Amino acid sequence: MIGYENIDEQKLLGLFYSKGTFSAMPLLKDNNVFATDGHKAIYVNAEVCQGEYEKTKRFNIELPPVEQELNIPLLSIQKAYDSLPKVETEEYDSEDCKECNGTGSVEWEYLDKKGNTHYKDFDCPSCDGFGFFKRNIRKCIEPEYNAVIELDGFFINNSHIKAIIDGLLLLGKDHITLLSKAKKNSAVYAYFRIDENITIVITPYCNYDEEDADAKVEL
Q: To 5 degrees, how large is the angle CA 210–CA 212–CA 214?
A: 100
Neighbouring-strand partners of residue 177 = 71, 193
The architecture in CATH of the region 9-85+145-216 reads Roll (3.10)
pLDDT given at position 85? 92
For residue 48, what pLDDT is reported? 94
Alpha-carbon distance 123 to 4, whole Å? Answer: 37
Question: How many residues would you count in the chain?
Answer: 219
Q: Any idea where the domains of the chain sit in the sequence?
A: 9-85+145-216, 89-140
Q: For the chain of 219 residues, list the mean pLDDT of each consecutive stretch of 10.
A: 88 84 74 90 94 84 84 97 91 90 90 92 92 90 90 91 96 95 67 96 79 90
Q: Which helix (H) or strand (E) holds 148?
A: strand 148-151
pTM for this structure? 0.76
pLDDT for res 166: 97
pLDDT at 183: 64
- Burial code of 104-116, b = ≥16 C-beta within 10 A, e = fewer? bbbeeeeeeeeee
